[in-house]
Amino acid sequence: MSAVDLERVEVLAAYVSSGGASEEEVRELEQLVLASPEAKAIADEFEEGMSDVAMDLEWEAPPPGGLEALQAAIASDSSEQAAAPATSGRDWAPGETASAGNSSGETPIISLASRKPKSSKILVASSLLLFSAAAAMAVMWTQERNRNQELNKVANELRSDLDGLKTDMVAVDREWSGRLADYQEKAEIKLARFEMLQSPQLTLATLGAESGATIKIFMEPEGKRWLVYGFDLPDVADKDYQFWFVPKEGAPIPAGIFKSLGDGIHELEVLLPDDITNITQAAVSLEPKGGSESPTEVQMIGPI
């Protein structure tokens, strides 16, 4: 059911629940209620609300015409009362004054039975007044309900926005925490390398190739840590540069894969295992991605 149809249901439900709807409007609302559970829910809500408002009120459903009939009834009754002779409630004899019938001078007592009943137009007006008040209450209640629904909608949107902001804050915090940890790790590595290069026990070995490429090996004997830098080593697709320990006896030992820094510069940090001794040479080879168990395309080799 469209929003326009639901608005029509609200209008009809307000009139029907307050007793001011025509037969056609009642039938129209009944058809809408049968066609849609949403329409039935709205009609039930209006009926429940109006039953609370009108619990202590009893009135006759007004005739068609509404406010116009009320105004006409009040105007007509007022004109008739103005034209009627002013009396105190009984017929006076000709020439008799109000005080003549009571020689004692007391105000005459008029029984309730002798009073004329209220005009039927006044009764209709009273009924219309009750209907108008109930209809006004229905409109006010509807407006308040719609305001509450709008406020709830805005509150839900704000809660959704707040949840989204919280999620974004968590994601940003996670991202920056990861970046900070990465920066700290890189800073610690650079600091350790800087301290190593300041060590008085630091030694340097150089390997060269006919192509002009060179390898600089900074060795800290006490810590058995080596910093290896390659220069003028061009990157090769699907290939890695691999470093090797070459003992005095036995096969070369894999020592790690170089990391390319661009512009032909490569770096590698290795720790010399305690069980490896008698290392007399080092070598660099070009291997398939991930490295090999034994060197294949040796680029350079030399003493250290």
Residues 256-268: pLDDT tens digits?
A: 999 999 999 999 9
When pLDDT is averaged across residues 95-115 and rounded to a whole number, the result is 46
The percentage of the chain sitting over the pLDDT mark of 70, rounded to a whole number, equals: 68
* C-alpha to C-alpha distance for 171 and 286, rounded to whole angstroms: 41
Average pLDDT along the chain:
76
pLDDT-derived band at 95 (thresholds 50, 70, 90) equals very low
pLDDT at 92: 43
The answer to whether 250 touches 273, Cβ cutoff 8 Å, is no
81 alpha-carbon distance from chain centroid: 66
Q: What stretch of H or E contains 303? A: strand 297-303
What's the predicted TM-score (pTM) here? Answer: 0.43
pLDDT at 50: 66
Q: Read off the pLDDT of residues 213-267 as tens digits, 9 standing for 90 and up.
A: 999 999 887 767 889 999 999 999 999 999 999 998 889 999 999 999 999 999 9
Q: 4 is written with which tokens?
A: 């326009």
When pLDDT is averaged across residues 272-286 and rounded to a whole number, the result is 87
CATH architecture of 203-303: Sandwich (2.60)
The domains of the chain are located at: 3-78+118-159, 203-303
Q: Read off the pLDDT of residues 157-202 as tens digits, 9 standing for 90 and up.
A: 888 888 888 888 888 888 888 888 888 888 887 787 777 777 777 8
The answer to whether 237 touches 260, Cβ cutoff 8 Å, is no
Query: Which of these ranges, 21-25, 84-88, 273-277, has the smallest mean pLDDT?
Result: 84-88
Q: Read off the pLDDT of residues 30-73 as tens digits, 9 standing for 90 and up.
A: 898 898 888 888 888 877 766 655 554 444 445 555 545 555 55
The answer to whether 292 touches 240, Cβ cutoff 8 Å, is no
Phi, psi values for residue 81, rounded to 5° = -70, -35
| DSSP category for residue 24 | H
pLDDT at 292: 94
Higher-confidence position of 221 and 94: 221
The structure tokens 């390997």 sit at: 207
Q: 213 is written with which tokens?
A: 């490429």
Q: Is the pLDDT of residue 122 over 70?
A: no
In three-state secondary structure terms, 135 is helix
What is the end-to-end Cα distance of the chain in Å, rounded? Answer: 87
